[in-house]
Structure 1
Amino acid sequence: MRINHLLILSAAVASSSGYAQSARAQSITIAEQFTARAGWALESDDSNLLARAGCLEPLTRIDFDGTLQPSLATSWTQTSPTTWEFTLREGVKFQDGQPLTPDAVSNALNNLLKVTTPARAFSPKLIKSVEAIGNNTIRITSHAPTVLLPYNVASPSTGILSPAGYQNGRINPIGTCTGPFIVVRAAPREGMTVKRNENYWGGRAALAGAEIRFIPDGNARAVQARSGEALISVAIPSSALHSLGSGLQIENIDSPRTATLIINNKKPALSDVKIRRAIQAAIDTAGLASVVYAGAAQPAVGPFGPKEPWAPKEAKVVKYDPAYAKELLKQAGIQDGALKLSLLAYNERGEFKDVAAVIQAQLREVGIPVDVRVAEYAALEPRMLSGDFDIALLSRNHLYDIADPFGFLASDYTCAGSYNLSHYCNKDVDAKVAKAGASVDIPDRHSVYADIARRLQDEAVNVFLVHEQAIDAVSKKVANYRPHLHDSYLLTKDVALR
């Protein structure tokens, strides 16, 4: 279905047609991967769309080199094992003209703590209180000791809106952010239109604005790039790269993102480690990386890539061994064809349809029939969260929630984790995660993460398939664009037209 064209800029951008034409000439169209699916609720991934659009800003930020940097806060101090104080940047105004104050920040973060489904990076399980103190400081208190709170408040979910952005239990991002671009139109299923914030605290943006289209289908994003309709198209399927043609720059970086076959560990059959190991051995991850991903991915050695400092040094690719898989199923008492599974896959990841077909064929070879269902992620996530599935494909950036694996492990692999799609629960792992979060010794923390990664791989809690690359197609007309390691930023004030 063709995405409806949004207005490049609203009538409010210009008071004359000449200015409007000039503004349009300085605007770009962007093909984004996901649609807004939660009414712009900041606890959801909708917050990431707002941050990538140049609207939403948190207290701190993760720069393109992966380092923690000031944003709406200029400095922070740990005053006790459970208490941090953040000094706010002076002179910042929300896009509706209201000043950034400690009360406004406290209001924003306390609204986040009150929601029904908390943000993974900033939830009442982690945060005890947020309060304004003095003229330009806020105090955040956690339940348990943590050295990572400045990383938590770099999450887009903790982005700060003016008080007008929180009305009657709803989020209104139009004109209530602090960033270099103002949202002037937000259509959850279609996209956003943004214009330059002329009063941005960080300096004037190079572009006048942008039309951001939500296009879940990866091949459709590739078409937008090839035709020139979109000057930036993100998350291009590796299989479409050969068809893009000239006039485009391919921006790709190794991403802390692992494509994973999530296994629902609370299903009776799948709670058996022998059956999970059989599924693990039946899947040719090296073949997936070379064929489906056309070499633009590495076969996974676990949840973390082999070059990451918290990956086990001895980590290696699980051997593809269908005969061993059959033997494990026999040991578990599973007759050929007796275990039938349903596999969920979402179409925002262009490779997943083919990955699902390969897994379906390879599991069939060892006597496990698989039914595949492909849909948009928004339609599948409720089933995955509730445990109403067998196996599912997921592309997960383990530094997305916070720029340290603690956030990923706490949400995905602890008993009470808010994104524990595998429904895995091990008290020893819970204790290790808690220990890591309180440790000021970075090598010690990394060692704990490696121990957990080793256990997840050994127990085949999930099947880690490939370590992915971020692949964006960018017109050569565009200057100063960089893919962000954690997917947090896209339209920055420096992106320009040549």
Structure 2
Amino acid sequence: MHHRAPLAAAGLTAASILLAGCFAQSAGESGTSGGARIKLAMMQPPRSGLSPFSDDAFKLSRWSTAETLVTLDDGGDARPGLATGWRQTSDTAWEFTLRQGVSFHDGSALTPAVAVNTLTRATKAVPKPRILDGVALTAAVQGDKLVVTTGAPDPLLPQRLSSPQLSILAESAYAADGKVTPVGTGSGPFRLVRVDGTTSATLDRHEGYWGEKAKAAGIDVSFVPDGTARAAAIRAGEAHIAEAVPVSQAALLDARTINEVPMPRTNTLYLNTKSGPFADPAVRAAVREAIDRDQIVGTVYEKRADVAKGLLGPALPWTVQGRKEITGRVAAGRANGATITLATFTDRAELPEVASLVQQQLQDAGFRVNQVVREYAHIEQDMLAGRFDAFILSRATVLDSGDPVAYLKSDFTCGGSFNIARLCDETVDRAVREAEAAEAGDRRRAAILAAEAAVLRTDAAIPMLHERVIQGDATSVTGSVKDPRERALITSATHVK
């Protein structure tokens, strides 16, 4: 939408003032051990003092300072990290072999006992890392192995251990009062040496890293919540990498500095299946036919999003490759002037615009549409209580394990904790249970797509688009990671030319 550009330009003066304080050093300044330092502008400052048991763990992962036992490949399959191999020894027990020769930034060595310490503390953390919600997990040393046991069979345990919230830190990271500090206690190619509250963080290259030594001398992180300021940092050469450039700013940047990354996040129209007009499947099908996804993507997102073919999108490439055409859908009925309430929230800037466009599309199809827009904190309770006929939500479709089953279960099953469509369909529940029980790999993926098809067949949710995150990279940067899961960003290979 080109009307945004003047607003963006008007913000440049304020952004420049912000930049002056954020990036004091000259871009590309070299470290004492050789190689330029990378200047990084991040969107969100730490919320929990960089505790690895919180969402701050993803910053530690993106800085390559803390590492996990397991990593995920592009398809979401488990790959070696600090553990080089694993095997399931019973329905509930897994044995892990740890990598030899790993030393933490404080000089201590990785051992099974160190891993047990981290995992045990994670299970006792308050709040508990979300990857462990509903999971009873214990860890123990058995000979030279790490053994992890769950209360119930968990076919995704290796993937679960890939969560940045379960990063393994040196024992010195954990204080007696329960506080955890990642400063100088990780094992990655960059050593966190200083954190200045919610303003900045400094990392230096870890010369004793077990893997490929970092090409950059270090990372200078500035937390810049203002999106215009982050974009201006790239434009002015004050940052080498900037997270989450707003759509409104992308057109103002050199195209060579813009990278669009598909996100596992879907903008979906949820329909109340329990009461009101959308209790009728044929009326829900009328909405399905009325929504013009291309118009929404082209107008609101300036084509910087992907038109949805399903609930799961291109951030999970196997869903695009394996999805089949859905058959057996209910034929669209007529709106017949039905009055509906369409709601969304303001916290994500594009959603009110999406709501206005959807309102017009539904009115064109014969509905009478009232619109409600509030801050999320003030609308969530009514949303979960089913007080709206339709709700537009930007929803993450995978959790920390890289698996979408938890999303399907919470949003679309009879007992789902986030079932705003109020859907209760035995066919859907059975399909989700089968996906949940399936072993990782092709079998599980097929079951997930079958569950997705079962949900779509009900028209309880109309997926509209899959969001992208726009990352700014200076033309001098090589090797930054464009990661849909937002776990990786700067690695050993990232450097300034």
TM-score (norm 1): 0.79
Aligned equivalent of 1:12: none
Q: Distance in 2 between matches of 1:381 and 1:169?
A: 34
Matched, 1:368 2:376: no
Where does structure 1 lack aligned partners over 5 or more consecutive residues?
A: 10-18, 331-335
Aligned equivalent of 1:221: 230
Between the two proteins, what is the percent identity of the paired residues? 30
Query: Retained in 2: the 8 A contact 1:72–1:89?
Result: yes
Match of 2:115, SS state, is: helix
Residue number among 247, 259, 267 corresponding to 1:260 in the alignment: 267
Superposition deviation, residue 8 in structure 1 = 7.6
Matched, 1:160 2:168: yes
Q: Distance in 1 between matches of 2:304 and 2:52?
A: 32
Aligned equivalent of 1:344: 345
Instruction: Note the aligned Cα RMSD (angstroms).
Output: 3.9
Aligned equivalent of 1:479: 478
Matches within 5 A, 1:238-257: 238-245=247-254, 248-253=256-261, 255=262, 257=264
2:243 partner amino acid: V
* Post-superposition CA distance 1:187-230 (Å, at most 9, x none): 56444332222222223211222222334454443222222222
Matched, 1:211 2:210: no
Q: 1:226 to 1:415 in 2, by over 3 A?
A: farther
Superposition deviation, residue 478 in structure 1 = 0.8
1:68 partner amino acid: A
Query: Retained in 2: the 8 A contact 1:6–1:192?
Result: no
* Post-superposition CA distance 1:145-192 (Å, at most 9, x none): 333221111121221122333332333222222212222333564443
Q: Distance in 1 between matches of 2:192 and 2:422?
A: 37
Q: Distance in 1 between matches of 2:420 and 2:129?
A: 15
Superposition deviation, residue 52 in structure 1 = 0.7
Matches within 5 A, 1:163-312: 163-167=171-175, 168-186=177-195, 189-245=198-254, 248-253=256-261, 255=262, 257-261=264-268, 263=270, 272=279, 280=288, 282-305=290-313, 308-309=318-319, 312=323
* Post-superposition CA distance 1:21-51 (Å, at most 9, x none): 6579722222223343344344442221221
Residue number among 105, 116, 123 corresponding to 1:113 in the alignment: 123
Matched, 1:396 2:396: yes
Q: Distance in 2 between matches of 1:312 and 1:26?
A: 45
Aligned equivalent of 1:83: 93
Aligned equivalent of 2:46: 36
Q: Please say which of residues 385-394 and 488-497 is displaced more in the overlay.
A: 385-394
Matched, 1:148 2:161: no
Matched, 1:464 2:463: yes
Query: Retained in 2: the 8 A contact 1:218–1:237?
Result: yes
2:295 partner amino acid: G
Q: 1:346 to 1:213 in 2, by over 3 A?
A: farther
Query: Retained in 2: the 8 A contact 1:222–1:244?
Result: yes
Q: Distance in 1 between matches of 2:45 and 2:385?
A: 23
Q: 1:415 to 1:55 in 2, by over 3 A?
A: farther
Residue number among 296, 316, 324 corresponding to 1:313 in the alignment: 324
Aligned equivalent of 1:15: none
Query: Retained in 2: the 8 A contact 1:121–1:402?
Result: yes
* Post-superposition CA distance 1:326-372 (Å, at most 9, x none): 33x73xxxxx3xx445411434xx64464344345556763222232
Q: 1:459 to 1:73 in 2, by over 3 A?
A: same
* Post-superposition CA distance 1:111-161 (Å, at most 9, x none): 2222344434333x23442222223x2111223333322111112122112
Match of 2:303, SS state, is: coil
Query: Retained in 1: the 8 A contact 2:345–2:375?
Result: yes
Q: 1:30 to 1:359 in 2, by over 3 A?
A: farther
Q: 1:175 to 1:440 in 2, by over 3 A?
A: same
Q: 1:221 to 1:197 in 2, by over 3 A?
A: same
Aligned equivalent of 2:451: 452
Aligned equivalent of 1:14: none
Superposition deviation, residue 394 in structure 1 = 1.7
Match of 1:287, SS state, is: helix
* Post-superposition CA distance 1:441-473 (Å, at most 9, x none): 844423321221123223333332212344322
Match of 1:192, SS state, is: strand
Match of 1:370, SS state, is: strand
Residue-pair matches, total:
467
Q: 1:373 to 1:294 in 2, by over 3 A?
A: same
Match of 1:308, SS state, is: helix
Q: 1:65 to 1:220 in 2, by over 3 A?
A: farther
Where does structure 2 lack aligned partners over 5 or more consecutive residues?
A: 1-13
1:302 partner amino acid: G
Q: Distance in 1 between matches of 2:196 and 2:423?
A: 36
Match of 1:257, SS state, is: strand
Q: Distance in 1 between matches of 2:355 and 2:33?
A: 44
Superposition deviation, residue 105 in structure 1 = 1.1
Q: Distance in 2 between matches of 1:419 and 1:169?
A: 31
Q: Distance in 2 between matches of 1:404 and 1:315?
A: 22
Query: Retained in 2: the 8 A contact 1:346–1:393?
Result: no
TM-score (norm 2): 0.79
Q: 1:45 to 1:88 in 2, by over 3 A?
A: same
Q: Distance in 2 between matches of 1:31 and 1:273?
A: 49
Q: Distance in 1 between matches of 2:423 and 2:167?
A: 30
